[in-house]
Amino acid sequence: MRKSFGNSLKQKGIHSEIRSDIMGHSGATPTEEIYCDAIALADMLPSIMKIPIVTAHLQPHPIRLLPWVQDKLPPPFSRKRRGTDGAGPGRRRMRKTKGAPDRS
């Protein structure tokens, strides 16, 4: 996406310094990098407006979230976090053996 965006700017004849500012790159020379501020957003707008909207042919649709996202649940493929059994971080869980006294 980033490369395509940069290429679109270049194909529309946008100057390299303006392209760098729009894309958030530092300057190519020390003069551009140290002594010049990025162009103001309002001044970038005419250059940005030259970029074609590649998704203009698509129709908007409502957002459909996955059921577990909509219900604010953890993903079904996630694992339980370690230490949720009360053992705490860095402590090993003791395996109970038949007939052993409870140490809790």
In a domain, 20, yes or no: yes
Domains of the chain: total:
1
97 in any annotated domain: no
Q: CA torsion 84→87→93→98, rounded to 10°?
A: -100
Q: Which domain holds residue 50?
A: 1-77
- 68 in Cβ contact with 76 (< 8 Å): yes
DSSP at 97: -
Any domain includes 89: no
Instruction: Indicate whether 86 pLDDT > 80.
Output: no
Domain for residue 37, yes or no? yes
- Read off the pLDDT of residues 5-16 as tens digits, 9 standing for 90 and up: 788 888 888 878
Mean pLDDT of the chain: 75
The pLDDT tens digits of the residues spanning 58-83 come to: 999 999 999 999 999 999 888 876 66
Would 91 be classed as within a structural domain? no
What is the dihedral angle through the alpha carbons of 23, 25, 31, 34, rounded to the nearest 10 degrees?
120
Q: Does 93 map to a domain?
A: no
> Residue 86: inside a domain, yes or no?
no
Q: Is residue 22 part of a domain?
A: yes
